[in-house]
Amino acid sequence: MKLISWGFIGCGEVAELKSGPAFNDVTGSHVEAVMSRTEARARSYAERHGVSKWYTDAQKLIDDPNVNAIYVATPPSSHATFAIMAMRAGKPVYVEKPLASNYEDCARINRISEDTGVPCFVAYYRRYLPYFQRVKEIINSGQIGQVAYVQVRFTTPPRPEDYQENKPWRLIPDIAGGGYFYDLAAHQLDLLQDLFGVIVRAHGYKTNRAHLYDAEDTVSASFRFENGLVGSGSWCFVGHESAREDRIEVVGDKGMVSFSVFSYEPIRLVTSDGEQFIEVENPDYVQLPLIKSVIEDLQGFGMCRCTSVSATPVNWVMDRILGKF
């Protein structure tokens, strides 16, 4: 079995809580080295997680002969740079979502992957979680009949850090690609395209209602999938607590199913037979099922479908909704 020895570029919150430990939980995989521009952060992560080497220079990590795969866990504006550096060095790469901060950078990543023959995978891990696999099973089994319409609704109050003078990177469009919409809607739109195919038309309106930061805080959109299915979405990141909602509804001609994307509330299924609430547990490290699929692909006995090509339509849709082109 081929041993996959990972090098992490970035070792912040995502690598700490959602993904990092999962790389050591898969047979034939381990974390060889980590990198952060901040020496103290890189050293601390390595010591706490039993990683033998740490760097403050991404190129040195990529050039490490004992590293044969790269995990990019930095903010989106640097994803393309580091992914392309890794692929040109002949090393497969696993990139945090969204794939990049704009559609054009996604296209660049895909061109380099095609030219070099080096794969690029993207961390849309919700596709692989048992919770969403159950949703997919309900829809594909015909329990709600032919799907007629899909709607996304997401509302949350401002976060404490939204009021700070020094804003988090997720609220700086040049780094994140937008505001919270670009960070969170990416997961929702990827799930919908995994369920129903590529979105080929998208239109939207964005606004800033609370003026807490420069990025949009409220978005409304409509879209159409390649199979003719239509849908809509509304996102508000400055709503009152009483309006808090995390919901996708899929309406068919025999029933409907609704589910959350971030809070994993019980799946609600309504048909002529009545109403059901279905609870599904996810693993402690939510990226583990996808990371396992990536590793098995690299080892040659599996195929991971969460590639940069499959992830690129998400950025296209978000850029269309935000009026980037």
- For the residues 189-197, what does the mean pLDDT come to? 98
* Helices assigned H by DSSP within the chain: 13-14, 39-49, 58-63, 79-88, 103-116, 130-140, 173-176, 180, 186-196, 288-299, 308-321
Express each pLDDT in 229-288 by its tens digit. Answer: 999 999 999 999 999 999 999 999 999 999 999 999 999 999 999 999 999 999 988 999
As a whole number of angstroms, the distance between CA 136 and CA 295 comes to 24
Residue 325 confidence (pLDDT) = 84
**In Å, what is the CA distance from 212 to each residue of 49, 209, 215, 323?**
37, 9, 9, 21
Task: Check if the beta carbon of residue 70 is closer than 8 Å to that of residue 94.
Answer: yes
Residue 91 confidence (pLDDT) = 98
As a whole number of angstroms, the distance between CA 124 and CA 110 comes to 16
Banded model confidence at residue 18, pLDDT cuts 50, 70, 90: low
- For the residues 212-216, what does the mean pLDDT come to? 98
Banded model confidence at residue 120, pLDDT cuts 50, 70, 90: very high
Residue 1 confidence (pLDDT) = 59
Q: Is the pLDDT of residue 227 over 90?
A: yes
Express each pLDDT in 67-89 by its tens digit. Answer: 999 999 999 999 999 999 999 99
Express each pLDDT in 169-186 by its tens digit. Answer: 999 999 999 999 999 999
Q: Is the dihedral of CA 120, 125, 129, 132 positive or negative?
A: negative
Q: Is the pLDDT of residue 35 over 90?
A: yes
Summary mean pLDDT of the chain: 96
Q: Give the closest residue to 79 by CA, choosing from 38, 41, 46, 113.
A: 113
